[in-house]
Structure 1
Amino acid sequence: MPHGDCAARDIAFSPDGARILVLDKASFAIAPRKGSPAVRIQIPSWIKSRSNPANGDLINLAFWLSANTIFVQQFDPATPFEPECGLFDARTRAWRRPRGGCLSSDFGHLFQVRPGPGGWLLLSSSSEGYHALGLVRYDPTTGQSDPGIPPLLLEAPGPINTRFARDGSRVDLISPCVLEGRKPPPCGDDEARSAWKLYSWPTTGGAISVLRSDLPPGSVLDPIGARFAWPEENGICIGDPRQTGTLCIPLPSDRYTSPR
């Protein structure tokens, strides 16, 4: 993910587009897209870190599994293949464990998950400078299944934000890096600070193509339209950088715990 206070946050729309999930290191915020106050949720420490008694080194990832359910996976970097996970109900604010268990990626460090239609998930993982995008299916009751699609392997790719098309026919990728060609070149911090590009990757395994190259750093796509969201100082903005009428929503501070 990108470096910096704002760009380090992982943001994603709920499947119905009504809310936005904003993940920090040990918590996440749920922000209604209409501009109402956001709610910050502390993630429990399911793993007692072997390297840090205070659990300061634990890594969390979170994504919308449905319009009202958030899946959170947690691991200690010292033992990445022994994760713990939980489901958060955005209506009741209750946690529960999924019967189907946690997710398993191509490489040890699973750092991002993007959900798609029909139980599809796009898993982003890394190991020793390489990055893998892998397609799997997941059900919270029966667990993860492998559809047999080879992962997309990249060397030092830099930040990539992804989203499935509503019909599942392609994956949209937003990145400052070059993703086209059989062997894309490595991508560093300098590219992450430049304008980002929107790519299209057919789920049939076809070639990746670039659609536009003028997006703010950290941009993600609206799941039900052609608008984008991106970090902006102490908040997030929603709209299209080519057009006027952008809506910007402030985020709560680290001390914020409940709506007023």
Structure 2
Amino acid sequence: MNALYDDPAFLDGYRRLRQSGQALNEPLEIPAMDAALPPVAGARVVDLGCGEGGLAVRLAEAGAAEVLAVDVSEQMLAAARPHAAVRYECADLADFDVPAGSVDLVVSSMALHYVGDFDDLVARVARWLVPGGWLVFTMEHPVMTAPVVAADCVVDDYADEGRRERTWFVDGVIKYHRTIGTVFGTLHRHGLQVERLDEPMPNPEQVVAQPSLAVHRRRPPILLIAARVR
């Protein structure tokens, strides 16, 4: 992963979006993630792509013993929320590593679609986790990443996995498309049993309150998976 969030123009656009209340995090992603998490009291946690630490701090406040929160962006980490149980580390997920069998829970919030080698990352996560440990993550839904040329509500080029280039606040934002089948197959191959799959979408009441969410009832914007070491 490159330090996209250290680009001043991108970071300004992203922060404006979060502050506007128009982002998907609060209405869709955060409630879905919280509902999918196992009990975290006493857990040793790694948060991959932690950003400004929102999820890491929520886990610490829920009783996690320690949270190692990792992000490649120095700017995001500089603004991260402090907590006595959270330790922040600047590292690229492409080569970040921790000792085998040292983690109870690995989480990632809307970051793994930026990872080029998903297989290698899942292999490392599987090594880190204790028997019965959990990986819970959200990512941009494959119907969103699929088109080579991005277009709202058009699913195209789904079978052609790999790098995609998008314009999102700035030109040249790199994401990686992989099918749901590939995501499942990769988890299974490395000994992780999928226990929950969710595609968070707004309900009609949310659309009435925030009409900009209506498009997300036409196609799911987020894929959530909770998997456990077999």
- Could you say whether these structures have the same fold, taking a TM-score greater than 0.5 normalized by the shorter chain as the test? no
Per the normalisation by structure 1, the TM-score is 0.30
Higher RCO (CA-CA < 8 Å; seq separation 6+): 2
Per the normalisation by structure 2, the TM-score is 0.32
Higher strand fraction (1 or 2): 1
